[in-house]
């Protein structure tokens, strides 16, 4: 739950500005697609090798520290080719972090179909939200502060549920996360279109995190609602 919340800059309405924005959006989509490869690879290695994963409150703190470290490094190197390498390293790490959720889901007899359904659902949400952001005349820039507040609430709820272990709260967290990060796709894609984000590596990081959070939240919901045990 670490979206890029940079506010939009002044919109460049010149022909050159439009070309630049289109290039940034195109490169962002290409890098986003490329980032799925190390994510899948990391998830595959984590599940197939049964790598041990940290859990509980300390595990969550360590995860946040590593994730924020990666994001800091990405922002520092985003104007060079090294930024792409660091971003792909981050997506590999995030793939590894899917291991516990994927193991749990694959414990269901229909676990494979649940994962594919979550993947398809995430792709559909992204396609719809990105299309709206691209074609809508509405300005979504004002959503940034509200969405960030929602992320803070989600993080607090996640921390609380580490200790409470309430299934009802897990459902609420997942539903809220899907809604918030779906809205973040609108915000982040339009930020590129309006010229508020001119670096495709930073743009990819923001949208990747939106997609990642939607996928994990949707998969958790599907497991709770439709997971079949022997």
C-alpha span between 37 and 91 (Å, rounded)? 9
Residue 16's pLDDT is what?
Answer: 52
For 196, the domain range is: 15-226
Kindly state the percentage of the chain with pLDDT values over 70: 90
Q: Which of 11-20, 83-92, 203-212 has the lowest mean pLDDT?
A: 11-20
Residue 7's pLDDT is what?
Answer: 44
Instruction: Report if residue 113 sits inside a domain.
Output: yes
Instruction: Report if residue 37 sits inside a domain.
Output: yes
C-alpha span between 158 and 178 (Å, rounded)? 14
pLDDT at residue 55 greater than cutoff 90? no
Instruction: Report if residue 7 sits inside a domain.
Output: no
List the one residue out of 222, 29, 41 whose CA is nearest residue 119. 222
Block residue for tokens 């516990």? 100
Quickly list DSSP for 108-151. Answer: STTHHHHHHHHHHHHHHHHHHHHHHHHH--S--GGGHHHHHHHH
Q: What is the pLDDT of residues 100-147, one digit of tens each?
A: 999 999 989 898 999 999 999 999 999 999 999 999 888 888 888 899
Residue 71's pLDDT is what?
Answer: 95
Q: What is the number of structural domains in the chain?
A: 1
Instruction: Report if residue 10 sits inside a domain.
Output: no
Instruction: Report if residue 8 sits inside a domain.
Output: no
Instruction: Report if residue 55 sits inside a domain.
Output: yes
């Amino acid at each position: 739950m670490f979206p890029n919340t940079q506010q939009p800059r002044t919109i460049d309405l010149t022909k050159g500005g439009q070309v630049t924005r289109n290039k940034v959006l195109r490169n962002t989509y290409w890098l986003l697609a490329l980032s799925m490869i190390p994510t899948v690879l990391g998830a595959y290695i984590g599940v197939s090798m049964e790598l041990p994963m940290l859990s509980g409150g300390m595990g969550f703190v360590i995860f946040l520290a590593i994730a924020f470290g990666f994001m800091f490094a990405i922002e520092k190197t985003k104007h060079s080719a090294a930024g792409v390498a660091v971003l792909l390293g981050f997506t590999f790490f995030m793939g590894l972090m899917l291991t516990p959720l994927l193991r749990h889901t694959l414990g269901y007899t229909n676990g494979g179909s649940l994962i594919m359904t979550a993947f398809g659902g995430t792709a559909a949400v992204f396609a719809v939200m990105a299309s709206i952001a691209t074609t809508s005349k509405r300005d979504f820039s004002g959503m940034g502060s509200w969405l960030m507040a929602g992320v803070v609430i989600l993080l607090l709820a996640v921390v609380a549920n580490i200790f409470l272990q309430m299934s009802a709260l897990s459902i609420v967290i997942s539903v809220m996360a899907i809604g918030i990060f779906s809205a973040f796709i609108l915000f982040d894609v339009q930020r590129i279109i309006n010229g508020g984000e001119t670096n495709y590596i930073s743009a990819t990081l923001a949208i990747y995190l939106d997609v990642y959070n939607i996928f994990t939240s949707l998969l958790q919901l599907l497991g709770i609602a439709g997971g079949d045990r022997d």
